[in-house]
Amino acid sequence: MREANGRGLVLVYTGDGKGKTTAAFGLALRAVGHGSRVFVIQFMKGDPDYGELQAVRRFLADRVEVVQSGLPSFVDRRAPSAEDLRLAREGLDLARRVLSQGDHDLVILDEINVAVDYGLISLEEVLRLLAQRPPGIDVVLTGRDAPATLLDAADLVSEVVDVKHHFRRGVAARKGVEF
């Protein structure tokens, strides 16, 4: 629920460790528990098999909306496709519309930091988006390699650090853990 006269917070979850998207969805769950409406835009993601998406659709569809704005394949950092660029642009345009309408208390821009780092969208556009949002809306930005300027603009920055990961022992991605 929005605080009266609150300006809204900008929260950044970044770092090379696993769990940034999971943390953002955890915050969404917490917000819904307090009666908030949540909108999630997943940049660079287009696979409907993620467990968090299935849970939202099954249990929270009336309070949380999720839109994927990416392909189900990885983006080539050195040569993003025209489709990757188009989908990232659509995601940013959608974020602008959702924020300007003011119907949601929390807006999560999942993997937007990576979209900026890969040059799919510009940092300046993201900063402008944050500055122009209506009062009281909290925004979460996730993904590795958040630029220093974005970290400076944030009210909270959490860095997820990769200390140890089972992938390095050859353990494959598992349903319910990685996706």
Phi, psi for 41 (deg, rounded to 5)? -115, 120
User: Can you give the pLDDT at residue 125?
Assistant: 98
Residue 179 in any domain: the answer is: no
| Confidence tier at 1 by pLDDT (50, 70, 90) | low
What is the mean pLDDT of the segment spanning 112-127? Answer: 98
Residue 23 in any domain: the answer is: yes
Is the CB of residue 36 less than 8 Å from the CB of residue 107? Answer: no
| Confidence tier at 5 by pLDDT (50, 70, 90) | low
Residue 177 in any domain: the answer is: no
Residue 1 in any domain: the answer is: no
Find, among 118, 100, 107, 129, the residue nearest to 31 by Cα.
107
Nearest 5°: CA angle at 85, between 83 and 90? 90
User: Can you give the pLDDT at residue 168?
Assistant: 84
CA distance 21 to 170: 23
Residue 4 in any domain: the answer is: no
User: Can you give the pLDDT at residue 174?
Assistant: 81
CA distance 125 to 16: 24
Find, among 61, 108, 118, 36, the residue nearest to 85 by Cα.
118
**Domains identified in the chain, total number:** 1
| Confidence tier at 26 by pLDDT (50, 70, 90) | very high
CATH of the domain at 76: 3.40.50.300
pLDDT at 4 over 70: no
Residue 125 in any domain: the answer is: yes
User: Can you give the pLDDT at residue 178?
Assistant: 80
Q: Between these two residues, 167 and 57, which has the higher pLDDT value?
A: 57
What is the mean pLDDT of the segment spanning 125-133? Answer: 97
Residue 62 in any domain: the answer is: yes
pLDDT at 3 over 80: no
What is the mean pLDDT of the segment spanning 1-9? Answer: 71
pLDDT in tens, 47-93: 888 899 999 999 999 999 999 999 999 999 999 999 999 999 999 99
- Find the domain containing 95 and state its range: 10-169
- Distance between alpha carbon 39 and the CA centroid of its chain, in Å? 10
Residue 176 in any domain: the answer is: no
